[in-house]
Amino acid sequence: MVWSDKDQCFIGSCPGLFYGGCHGNDEKQVFSELCEIAEASIALSIRSGKPLPPATSGKDYANQMQGMTAKPL
């Protein structure tokens, strides 16, 4: 989840798990919604017998897709 200066809101995504995401002005609410979407996506994959995608933690795909480089905190 990141703050978007361009959109002036928080944007949550899980590019390895599902396309799209969620956004809003309340960081906790966006995180909660993102968790719900991720849990639903995982449950759907399990029910349909599809394997879960490989882990993407720490790979920064969102910024790579936009041609950006993440700045260290």
Tens-digit pLDDT profile for residues 42-72 = 999 999 999 988 876 666 655 565 555 545 5
> What pLDDT does 64 receive?
60
> What pLDDT does 39 receive?
96
pLDDT tens by residue, 25-40: 999 999 999 999 999 9
Cβ distance 33 to 24 under 8 Å?
yes
19-25 long-range CB contacts below 8 Å, 24 or more apart? Answer: none
User: Which run of H or of E encompasses 10?
Assistant: strand 9-12
Mean pLDDT of 1-21: 92
> What pLDDT does 67 receive?
58
> What pLDDT does 2 receive?
94
Q: What are the structure tokens assigned to 42, written together?
A: 């995982």
